[in-house]
Amino acid sequence: MIPSRWLLVVMTPLLFGACRADEPKKPAMETSQNAPTQPEGKVEKSDAEWRKELTPEQYRILREAGTERPNGQVYEEFKKQGGGTYYCAGCGAELFSSKEKFDSHCGWPSFYDPSKAKNVVTKTDYSGGMTRTEVNCAVCGGHLGHVFTGEGFNTPTDKRYCINGTALKFAPAK
């Protein structure tokens, strides 16, 4: 006879494994062949509307100031993308251009300047026990990432806009 403890040890992982749903795949950076229609004025939506329109990962980043993991699928896609424009995944506002894109080897999409400065705003961020400069979409208020200055990158601005790729929508140049 098999001791019940041994049976429990052997069967528990099998039971949980059989009931476990596959892990959801991390959403890749959205790509569109056409530029989204630019919003006119501020975009304001209820929490329920944002949750309905965004993926869970986009919601976590854009609406809850989350951060995606470095060197993920989104970053790998970003490195392969050619010329084009990057828009807010929340509202479609133009944010960055591939002309200002560079590989900072940090694990997240990097730009040295926003293409439409009026659509990008910054504010001081004291979260995580440090002081940083948070980057937000000026149109919908979505969290995009952070900007760092004086790191010694050979760019015209010596700034690194370190942006969550999941918060961006890419449209290739025509």
Write down all domains in the chain, each with its CATH number in brackets: 27-34+42-172 (2.170.150.20)
Q: Which residue has the tokens 């809850």?
A: 64
Catalytic positions, written as ranges: 162
> Using CA atoms, how far apart are residues 43 and 37, in angstroms rounded to an integer?
13
User: 3-state class of 66 per DSSP?
Assistant: coil
**pLDDT at position 75, please?**
95
Per-residue model confidence as pLDDT tens for the chain (174 residues): 555 444 333 443 333 333 333 334 444 566 767 788 889 899 999 999 999 999 999 999 999 999 999 999 999 999 999 999 999 999 999 999 999 999 999 999 999 999 888 999 999 999 989 999 999 999 999 999 999 999 999 999 999 999 999 999 999 998
Residues contacting residue 160 through CB under 8 Å, at least 6 positions apart: 104, 106, 110, 111, 112, 147, 148, 149, 151, 153
**pLDDT at position 65, please?**
97
Cβ atoms of 164 and 144 within 8 Å: the answer is: yes
Is 0.75 surpassed by the pTM of this model? Answer: yes
Write down the number of H helices and E strands in the chain.
4, 10
Q: Which residue has the tokens 């959205």?
A: 30
